[in-house]
Amino acid sequence: MASESAHPMHVTDSIIAPLIGRARVAMAAFKNADQARVDEVVTALAWSVYCPDNARALAETAVRDTGLGNVADKITKNQRKTFGTLRDLMRVRTVGLLDDDPESGIARYAKPVGVVAAITPSTNPAATPVNKTMMAIKGRNAIVIAPPPGGWSATSATVDLMRQALAQVGAPVDLVQVLPQPISRELTQTLMKQADLIVATGSQNNVRGAYSSGTPAIGVGAGNVPVVVDESADLDDAAVKICASKTFDNATSCSSENSLVILDAIYPDMIAALQRVGGYLANNTERERIQNCLWLNGKLNRDVICKDASAIAARAHLEDTAPEARFFMVEESEFSAASPFADEKLSLVLTLYRARDFDHAIDLVSNILEVQGKGHSCGIHTTTADHARRLAEEIDVVRVLVNQAHTFGNGGSFDNGLNFTLSMGCGTWGGNSISENLNYRHFINITHLAHTVAEDRPSETALFERHWQKFGK
């Protein structure tokens, strides 16, 4: 979130207007780039962050400055997301003629959307900026990145590397820029008003600000992923995946599992499987201690969120009982403000719900998402295809993952068909304009060239006959 320290409006305009101006000049210079040239530039951007030395340096800066996550996993995230996004982008056209359909007489041409304002979060101050930049420039746009104050150093370093990459391949360096310090709400708001498109990832305040700016905007909803484990699941496989996903980068991801809904018949066995991979089940007293250290005055405690398990153990006085814990489990049955464990926790705390049967499990998932996360995602570990189908049919989410680790699957994976991204649309359920993973299509305008074709005009009878037969003329 932007700092509360205000810039006067005339000051913000004097800062933003030159950034937008330079971005438009860069776009004009890049306007005639063909697909091969665009792909060359996008590949250079990807390498600037994927390069092992750079991926490490950015990860170290991010953890040092934000205090969120851990270096090893941020290196993995910087490289994996960048590599996967590059794979996706190299397989698509975004310049000139996209397709020409003789049957419909429609030919489609890709055009830039303009200058993109990218609002990025402190949880991913390197991976998210490069991800959005690659998509934006794939569409021959320019981008100006607005990071949160705490993530500015890592984001600025990322932008510096990307600008060096642009210079190396002879592309305009002002295709990507970052807001200068000090970052303020007023500065970000002015950027959003002057840009042509906003893509907002991060706090819901920032997303709402994007939608109310008057500029076309794409925002993403809040995460709070519930996952069902049913009687047919491979419990050890599920436990390994849940642990890997929950602990990755200390649960900074909005796709991290926040709650497990475990069917009654396998509840004790699943608890045992989770304990075998490092989960610690808190008793009632320990549960209260975890709650008291995780929330302060109704808000998540920044001294605990996205920190190592040892930090939670120390704050909750669990060093003696849970010295080897990789994550903590608390049992829950409520969905009220007095019992906040149903909410997103951004920490190594996993909430457990016990379901009587699968119908009850669906109800529990729905209730959890009503607390937070509606539209985002849910998942299931199962070998019963009908259970997965029912979740997809009955739960209002954009993504349902089957037998996968959510952190590694929701935002694209090498073994599922979702686009690689760090921005996951949640549909109107989550207050968003898109119901898919943010991808290159959101960064291009399309011109439709329409030729005449053979007339396609059915008869009145063909269209109205069934209505006439049932209801009369």
Residues with catalytic function? 254
The whole-angstrom separation of Cα 230 and Cα 224 is: 20
> Taking phi first (over 0 means left), then psi (-120 to 50 degrees means alpha), and beta for anything else, what does residue 297 get?
left
284-291 CB contacts, 8 Å cutoff, 24+ apart: 286/316, 286/318, 286/321, 286/322, 287/330, 287/331, 289/316, 289/317, 289/318, 290/316, 290/318, 290/328, 290/330, 290/349, 291/330, 291/340, 291/341
Distance (Å) of CA 116 to CA 46, 179, 216, 269: 18, 13, 10, 50
Strand-pair category, 327-331 with 279-281: parallel
The pair phi, psi for residue 355, each rounded to 5°, is: -105, 135
Nearest CA-CA partner of 7 in 198, 188, 192: 188
Amino acid at 446: I
Distance from chain centroid for Cα 375:
12
Q: How far is CA 175 from CA 3, 62, 134, 258, in A?
A: 26, 23, 11, 38
The set of residues, in sequence order, having a beta carbon less than 8 Å from that of 371 and lying 6+ positions away, is 224, 335, 342, 343
Taking the C-alpha atoms of residue 366 and residue 397, their distance in angstroms, rounded to an integer, is 10
Cβ neighbours, 10 Å, residue 420 = 24
Please give the DSSP secondary-structure letter assigned to residue 428.
G
